[in-house]
Amino acid sequence: MNAGPTYEPIDPVRFIGNHSSGKMGVAIADAFADLGADVDLVLGPSHEKPLNHGIKIHEVQTASEMYQKCMGIFPSAKISVLSAAVADFTPSHKARSKIKKEDGLQSIELEATKDILLSLGESKKENQFLVGFALETDNERKNAIKKLKAKNLDMIVLNSLKDDGAGFGHSTNKISIIDNKENSLEFPLKDKSQVAVDIVQSIMNLLDKK
């Protein structure tokens, strides 16, 4: 599993990041652990921590670190849930010292980060179950299904930023779940701990049908 944001350094004090708290992913880790699962959680910079002390936490900062850790854990994982908000781009060069305002900074050259979900989907074995997340603002279902197919997922959890109380910065979430046959389930707004139980139960139900 992974959760939280990544921070991509510009210099020793500044970074490119996002608003992900990691709360949803941490709640999913707890829900799995409560069922007796052995859980590895690759966690980006976050104040959120699992309640279940049996969860093994791997703390990372950057997209590159998250990629390496996820790729190392994945071969032995039966179920992988990728909920982290990983940066799509990172600065090509990190300044060794703080960039001074008076020195000016007209632009930051960026390069693409490695796509963790795509890499896992390409290496997924028959007995592995891979879940991704999609956070969309337009054509939500269409874009989520496109991602599910392109990255060889078994299931995708869709959030819409148009839904009040959903997405980043909330203790609640409103999701849709779509499987690889494009069947979908809609859930009402709930506390993220309850949403996590819905996600885990949906995974278990789909595994029973495999």
What are the structural domains, with CATH classification, of the chain? 2-98+107-209 (3.40.50.10300)
Question: What is the model's pTM?
Answer: 0.93
- pLDDT above 90 coverage of the chain, percent: 85
Burial of 168 (0-12, 13-18, 19+ CB in 10 A): middle
For residue 138, the SS3 value is coil
Q: Among this protein's residues, is 18 annotated catalytic?
A: yes
Give the residue-averaged pLDDT of 17-33: 96
Q: What is the band of 196 on the pLDDT scale with cuts at 50, 70, 90?
A: very high
Burial of 3 (0-12, 13-18, 19+ CB in 10 A): buried
Q: What is the band of 131 on the pLDDT scale with cuts at 50, 70, 90?
A: very high
pLDDT of residue 161 exceeding 90, the answer is: no
Find tokens 């703080």 and name the residue: 98
pLDDT of residue 153 exceeding 70, the answer is: yes
Instruction: Give pLDDT, residue 167.
Output: 67
pLDDT of residue 103 exceeding 80, the answer is: no
Catalytic residue among 2, 18, 139, 183: 18
